[in-house]
């Protein structure tokens, strides 16, 4: 198949999933064309089946905001037409699904029928998408997609709750390439951070409000009173300054490190004892899956789709949003020498269920079904 993938090229989860999906499809022999405004973060190597088409955003003194969606739709039209694509797969509804709709209509006027699959990732539904300033366009473009997938059952449910959707939505969960995470433990790294064999707690995110990084710091503050431990915070974003301030106020700075953005997150995760993801909303929690793939138990909130991944009491615990007391108790339970090995083992076993080899065939089957349906309807 020749597949066009449209995504955000940044560190965000949807961009990572889209890039890893494209790479896995290319390995299977499909030709994959990425269409986005910058080279995706994890696509900096040569493969005979991978192509990258940069969206050219022209600015003009009249535009306060250059019309990205138009440039994207134009690029999609050209790539579909000149590369002979079989399907367009857009990740994150805003603005990719509506740009795909526009491209589809233009291509129709050229006598080309292109099936469009939209994958809903999370905040495109639960936060940004349902805002009245976007909702009509999001509803329309989801309904006009030829196939729609969501990354969890909870996100599927939220989509039907927030929007008037006539389409069926297929749940295809996020995945991981376990081989990438099977790296050797960097023991020297662990010794440098935890010289006295302290327990290592890790959080990775884009430091937005929805991630509730303050809960991570509060839980660490409580845990550290009982168990000698260190905290690594990976990532960057709007809340970081505030979080650094909170550490200073609580006096936890000497045991906390803010690492900023990090590409090889598996190197940190491979030496962690506990991963924290206390988000207010989280459709799936790819960061938690990455931790589990490194044999790290997960302490999460029970928001959104996280409990579909992190099984309460088995691979970690899932507490109510903002329940610092509960999170602290569960953290101490997991970190005890008696319990930790079991949680680690079960976290890895669960991650294996989400290996790319299990999930990729589901996308391939969905593409096939969508192409057949679209082409038969257009006859």
Q: Are 202 and 287 in contact (CB under 8 A)?
A: no
Does 118 interact with ligand GMT (rule: CB under 6 A)? Answer: no
Cβ proximity to ligand GMT: between 121 and 330 the closer is 121
Binding window for ligand GMT (CB under 6 A); candidates: 11-19, 31-39, 68-76, 138-146:
11-19
User: Looking at 101, 207, 275, 284, which residue binds ligand GMT (CB under 6 A)?
Assistant: 284
Q: Are 334 and 272 in contact (CB under 8 A)?
A: no
Does 286 interact with ligand GMT (rule: CB under 6 A)? Answer: yes
Minimal distance in Å, beta carbon 374 to ligand GMT?
24
Task: Report residue 20: phi and psi, to 5°.
Answer: -65, -35
Listed in sequence order, the residues at least 6 apart from 158 whose beta carbon sits closer than 8 Å to its beta carbon are 125, 126, 283, 304
- Residues that bind ligand GMT (rule: CB under 6 A) add up to a total of 19
Cβ proximity to ligand GMT: between 55 and 114 the closer is 55
By rule CB under 6 A, what string of x and - marks binding of each residue 75-94 to ligand GMT?
-----------------x--
Secondary structure class of 366 (helix, strand, coil)? helix
Does 129 interact with ligand GMT (rule: CB under 6 A)? Answer: no
Measured CA distances, 60 to 5, 57, 64 (Å): 28, 10, 8
User: Looking at 4, 9, 13, 297, which residue binds ligand GMT (CB under 6 A)?
Assistant: 13
Q: Which of 332, 246, 370 is nearest to 319 (CA)?
A: 332
By rule CB under 6 A, what string of x and - marks binding of each residue 37-76 to ligand GMT?
----------------------------------------
d(CA 113, CA 103): 10
Q: Are 144 and 108 in contact (CB under 8 A)?
A: no
d(CA 273, CA 269): 8
**Scanning residues 188 to 247, which ones bind ligand GMT (CB under 6 A)?**
206, 210
Question: Which residues here bind ligand GMT, judged by CB under 6 A?
Answer: 12-15, 17, 92, 121-123, 151, 174, 206, 210, 281-286
């Amino acid at each position: 198949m020749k597949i066009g993938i449209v995504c955000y090229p940044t560190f965000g989860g949807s961009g990572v999933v889209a890039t890893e999906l494209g790479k896995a499809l290319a390995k299977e022999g499909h030709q994959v064309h990425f269409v986005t405004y910058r080279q995706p973060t994890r696509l900096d190597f040569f493969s005979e089946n991978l192509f990258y088409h940069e969206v050219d955003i022209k600015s003009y003194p009249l535009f306060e905001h250059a019309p990205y969606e138009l440039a994207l739709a134009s690029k999609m039209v050209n790539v579909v037409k000149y590369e002979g694509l079989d399907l367009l797969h857009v990740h994150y509804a805003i603005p990719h699904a509506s740009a795909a709709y526009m491209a589809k209509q233009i291509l129709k006027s050229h006598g080309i029928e292109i099936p469009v699959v939209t994958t809903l990732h999370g905040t495109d539904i639960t936060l940004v998408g349902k805002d009245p300033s976007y909702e009509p366009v999001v509803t329309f473009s989801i309904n006009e997609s030829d196939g729609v997938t969501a990354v969890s059952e909870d996100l599927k449910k939220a989509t039907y709750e927030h929007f008037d959707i006539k389409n069926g939505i297929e749940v295809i969960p996020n995945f991981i390439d376990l081989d990438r995470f099977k790296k050797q433990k960097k023991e020297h790294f662990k010794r440098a951070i935890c010289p006295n064999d302290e327990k290592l707690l890790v959080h990775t995110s884009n430091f937005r409000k929805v991630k509730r990084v303050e809960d991570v710091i509060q839980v660490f503050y409580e845990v550290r009173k009982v168990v000698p431990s260190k905290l690594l915070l990976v990532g960057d974003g709007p809340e970081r300054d505030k979080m650094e301030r909170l550490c200073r106020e609580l006096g936890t700075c000497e045991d906390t490190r803010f690492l900023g953005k990090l590409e090889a997150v598996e190197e940190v995760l491979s030496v962690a004892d506990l991963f924290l993801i206390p988000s207010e909303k989280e459709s799936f929690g790819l960061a938690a899956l990455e931790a589990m793939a490194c044999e790290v138990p997960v302490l999460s909130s029970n928001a959104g789709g996280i409990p579909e991944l992190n099984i309460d009491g088995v691979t970690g615990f899932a507490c109510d949003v903002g329940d610092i007391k509960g999170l602290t108790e569960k953290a101490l339970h997991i970190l005890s020498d008696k319990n930790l090995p079991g949680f680690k083992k079960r976290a890895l076993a669960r991650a294996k269920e989400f290996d790319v080899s299990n999930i990729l065939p589901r996308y391939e089957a969905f593409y096939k079904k969508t192409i057949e349906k679209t082409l038969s309807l257009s006859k």
